[in-house]
Structure 1
Amino acid sequence: MTRGAPIPETVTLHVPFCVVKRGGRKEMRLPEGIAPPHRPDDALVKALARAFRWKRALESGHCATIAELAAMEGVSPSYLTRVLRLTLLAPDIIEAILDGRQGPEVTLARLMNGFPERWDRQQDSIGG
């Protein structure tokens, strides 16, 4: 086995990025022109899963009221109803969230503040 040129002990890489807050956590933003990998927003995915689970619990009769379900889940009825509202999102927006293709403006905090009920108006209101 022959040795080539010696390997330097220190390698320096320059990677331009900036740190931004998104959904209460810090993320790196890549330079313009570089597409980030598709990665689902864990908080949004978890909230969607909870919303549809809670909706099934109410529709199946497992829980008779929102107050009963909230007590069982250990959350406030107000929080439960705001999360439950996520079941009203348009299917294409839900699919984009699950695939990690939603825009940076689509955050759980923004969705919890409300959005139009009509699917055709959601795209313009919240992006996606």
Structure 2
Amino acid sequence: MGERAAAASLKFVTVQANSASLAEARARVFEFFKTTCRSIPTVMEIYNLQDVVNESQLRSAVSSEIRRHAHITNPKVIDMLLQKGTEELHNIVQHSKQRHHIIGQYVVGQRGLVHDLGTKDEGTSDFLKNFYRSNYF
């Protein structure tokens, strides 16, 4: 799916003004998650993320971002968060961000995936390993 097709699919995700109930807001969250998961292959292609993360790991990062707000029960707050999430997804699919923004925000940092530096820094000193780790959190 190309960039335009993913952008076109986002038109159906626009958040209504207010959810009538918590159940309706919850249904909208599930719909947003489905749309986001459908956009992941496009995002992977746009930002060339295959060497850093796979689709299931990125899906897990999105899921953890949604679960981080699971305690919220006010439908208006949920709608506001959905609006922000939809705007973020739109910006990502429209390539308004750079690759390092996506990696820093959704792959390495902010309670997403804690990416093990593993093989890329085998010859690096402990000081540099700690330095790199501290810059991603």
Q: TM-score, normalised by structure 1?
A: 0.31
The higher relative CO (CA closer than 8 Å, separation ≥ 6) is in 2
- Structure with greater helix percent: 2
Q: Answer 1 or 2: which has greater strand percent.
A: 1
Larger radius of gyration: 1
